[in-house]
């Protein structure tokens, strides 16, 4: 059997990608430099390109990594609880805890990224992926609210689509507030005020 050419990779791809996520999460696509990325990932530029492609491809891989983290941490809160109000409240509180975690970059990777959209320096593929990710979060909430409606749990006069739009806006707002330095207590206060539209 012929030998493979080139030296084998000697780094943990997932670990390197996690470090890239941190840089993009903190600085956004536009302001994250290749120097910062290679330093954080512990890679040379040739190794980065060989493993992940260019900056655009790396960002898209990082976004998918973040989404897997988001879904893995929080989707269970939304889907496993049979009572709709408790499910949504638990999901929002779990999300707020991550957004306000001082060990993580401030705010939400997706919300931080969409704030940069519309500029000429943001690739169309990045902008589209961010908008799809943002819509995907609202769709996940909508699907849970549709289930709650079928179970007769929604408050009178409210529809799943109206509530999903409301809580989608809330999630975006939580991300912005967390990026601006709001702590968990403040985010929780906002969640409790919003949940008042769905009385116990």
149-156 long-range contacts, CB within 8 A, separation 24+: 151/82, 151/84, 153/83, 153/84, 153/85, 154/84, 154/198, 155/197, 155/198, 155/199
In a domain, 128, yes or no: yes
Considering the domain boundaries, does residue 38 fall inside one?
A: yes
Query: By CB neighbour count within 10 A (0-12 exposed, 13-18 middle, 19+ buried), where does 126 fall?
Result: buried
Angle, CA 17 vertex, CA 93 and CA 10 arms, to 5°: 145
What is the structure's pLDDT at 10?
A: 64
- Does the residue 154 lie in any domain? yes
Is residue 8 domain-resident? no
> What would the DSSP string read from start to end of 126-139?
HHHHHHHHHHHHHH
Q: What is the per-residue pLDDT for 3? A: 42
Residues 9-38: pLDDT tens digits?
566 888 999 999 999 999 989 889 999 999
Q: What is the CATH number of the domain that holds 76?
A: 1.10.357.10
Token pair in block for residue 108: 């939400």
Q: What is the pLDDT of residue 119?
A: 63
Is the pLDDT assigned to residue 96 strictly greater than 90?
Answer: yes
Question: Domain tally for the chain?
Answer: 1
The answer to whether residue 27 is domain-embedded is: yes
Q: Give the tokens for residue 148.
A: 């709650």
* Phi and psi angles of residue 135, each rounded to the nearest 5 degrees, phi first: -65, -35
Q: Does residue 6 sit within a domain?
A: no
Dump pLDDT digits (tens) for 116-152.
776 667 899 999 999 999 899 999 999 999 999 999 9
> Does 1 fall in a domain?
no
By residue range, what is the domain housing residue 152?
13-197
pTM of the model: 0.86
Res. 88 pLDDT band, cuts 50 70 90: very high
- Quick check: is 7 in a domain? no
pLDDT digits (tens, 9 = 90+) for 171-193: 999 999 999 999 999 999 999 99
């Amino acid at each position: 059997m012929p030998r493979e050419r080139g030296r084998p990779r000697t780094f943990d791809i997932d670990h390197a990608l996690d470090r890239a996520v941190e840089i993009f999460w903190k600085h956004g696509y536009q302001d994250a430099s290749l120097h910062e990325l290679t330093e954080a990932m512990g890679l040379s530029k040739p190794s980065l390109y060989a493993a992940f492609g260019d900056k655009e491809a790396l960002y898209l891989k990082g976004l998918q990594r973040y989404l897997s983290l988001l879904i893995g941490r929080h989707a269970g809160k939304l889907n496993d609880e049979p009572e709709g109000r408790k499910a949504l409240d638990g999901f929002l509180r779990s999300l707020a805890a991550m957004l306000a975690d001082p060990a993580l970059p401030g705010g939400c990777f997706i919300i931080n990224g969409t704030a940069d959209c519309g500029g000429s320096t943001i690739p169309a593929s990045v902008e589209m992926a961010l908008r799809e990710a943002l819509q995907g979060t609202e769709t996940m909430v909508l699907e849970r609210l549709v289930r709650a409606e079928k179970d007769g749990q929604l408050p009178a006069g409210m529809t799943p689509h109206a509530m999903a739009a409301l809580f989608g806006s809330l999630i975006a707002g939580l991300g912005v507030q967390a990026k601006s330095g709001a702590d968990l207590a403040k985010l929780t206060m906002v969640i409790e005020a919003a949940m008042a539209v769905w009385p116990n």
